[in-house]
A and B are shown apart, each in its own frame.
Chain A
Amino acid sequence: MNDMLKISQLKVAIDDKEILKGLDLEVGPGELHAIMGPNGSGKSTLGYALAGRDGYDITGGSIEFDGQDLADMEPEERAAAGLFLAFQYPVEIPGVNNAYFLRSALNAQRKARGVEEIDGMTFLKSVRESLKQLKMDEALLKRAVNEGFSGGEKKRNEIVQMAVLQPKLAVLDETDSGLDIDALKLVAEGINRLRDGKRSFVVITHYQRLLDYLNPDHVHVLSGGRIVESGGEELARRLEAEGYGFLEESAA
């Protein structure tokens, strides 16, 4: 079976400073991979490079997503191809209605894929369902995108977007940070509901506690711009208990 995501020897630089220094990662269909690692190791850079943010220059290696080379694709083309990034810091867009934003995004993706636009009723039904599951107030639909949302509401709003957009691959960048335990559980359930054996996930996190709910297939440690250790769930538990200290020993 082909990989959903195949990253080979990826090098990414920001302002000529190399952040990712030859990263390899393969994610199969239906798999959930967790990426952990100390601050400044390049975790968010990986997320942004996948989504195609300006200024994240690929200086070496390749990213293949669902059989397509991502390097020459615009962010919106990657989204239409089925890639979704849940932001660590979701952005506020004052005056732009949350529901209108999401519907426009969904229709832009559908248009790019040559699929008919979604009708208003079907859309509303789907988004209301997601809101309910994440225990979010429906009034948030009428508010401006992320404006005046609490930190937790912003993160849950990302999960609502993911549920409505139905990507093939979701990259979640520290979606668990800043969440209380109830919200964390809701977010984890939101992710698990979307696991259908085909959709893949890359979950970037600092903490074991989210992974307790997600049961990742693989756990990787990113350090100094490379994957330095891979394993199963037990690796996450070891990191939680021992910290990243042991990595430096093995690297030395």
Chain B
Amino acid sequence: MKIRLTLAIILAGAVLSTLSARAQVAVVAVAGDPGHLNPAISTAGPLHAVADSIFNGLVSLDRDGTVQPDLATSWTVSPDGREVRFALSSGVKWHDGKPFSAEDVKFTFEEVLFRFHARTRAGLAPAVASVEAPDADTVVFRLKRPHPALLRQLNVTEAPILPRHLYAGTDPNRNEANSRPVGTGAFRFESYKRDDSVVLVRNENYFKPGLPKLERLVFRVIPEANTQVAALANREVDYLGRVVPSDVARLNGKATLLDTTSGPGGANCVMTLAFNLQRPVLAALPVRQAFAHALNRRQMLELVQFGQGRVAEAPIHSAIGWATLRGALRAYDLDPAKANALLDQAGLPRSANGERATLDLLMFPAFARYAELMRQQLAAVGIALRLKPLDPAAFATSVFTKRDFDLALISYCNGVDPEIGVRRMYHSTAIGNVPFSNAAAYRNADVDRLFDQAGSSTDTAARGEAYREIERIVARDLPYWWLVETDFTSAWRGDFADFAPWSGQFAERAFQKH
């Protein structure tokens, strides 16, 4: 009797779930709870994975980083590069029916993004003198100096536009709309259950004709990578924004489509070893050179990334083709004998037990496999690593606030322009209590000057030359050792098409086949 009842329950559930699977519904797995859904006051990953589908930026970026219209239909840059004028799409409505206008854009930048969005506040606000709204359909950015990265910093991930009528005169951190968001985006908010799910539904009045195609977009919070993959295989989930490298082979060829990109919004991340230059042992250049010769980066790519990426060839990510200096790191071939010689020369002889020095390596627990491999590789040249996995809050405090570390393993995401994510690693003004800034505490007046020069020129060729000069200098000084360019792999079930994993608005065009 009991068994029959259980069977009946299972069957009933199975029938129900197949019946409801016919509509255009996509279930998306996200690894963390978003917390709230206001993408303009936070850069947290899980939040943007969900909220970017509810909002729009002025522009969007396509797969290769080319700027495309979003809320802005066109733009012109003045000859001196100090004024950028945007024509906005007309007739756009917020999800609550109120009209969207240039005032919303001005308000969002001045009152929210420039104050609370960490990257936009640090990377864009200092270059902007004012944002003006001469009429409802026009926005003008007046710049203190030419800022060539501007357009690429205006997509929905870097600069989502909020409704002024709901946020004006309030504290954006405590506004109720943060948990019941109203945007202009392809999907409208329906419900949010913490640590469980967020449900979005199609915005019938979306300003892009014919879009979106999906009726419902359901985000399920699934913290375990293994469970995410099992859920995809079991047809409970249709889209995984990020598959851990070791699972890629498991998913391959199972009616699942895999797409490899350099990260959402052109993240272009480089797994990097930061040397704390304030520690006497690591202040010696030969020691850092020894690390570069001792670490087997190809092994990291194969054993940790399962081939999802490339060995770093330059300090700047290879996807930023006009700025990267190919072959910049060629001098540091894998050569443990040379590493040993350099360490001898640096005055770090082997002690009785064969060890030269013991150093702390701090990292996120997710990067533990890199750390384990590094420990083995460095043991061969007599350097012992003490691994200290720390959660993000503790890591940021130890490395950037207290500067209590020898080595830190950091995934530095370069973004689509070196101004966004490279400058902060090297500029002397970026040393201090700011998470994921200049961890090495590297200071070089020439490098500072070249960054300032490249950041205020509109001539791409001249900028590229300045960045390559920077790369020549830092490849010689080695404040960091650049390990692997890590690719991101997304996966979705074969009956879906047109997901855009490189964009925050990844589901804008997606649909379910047949």
**Is B one of A's binding partners?**
no
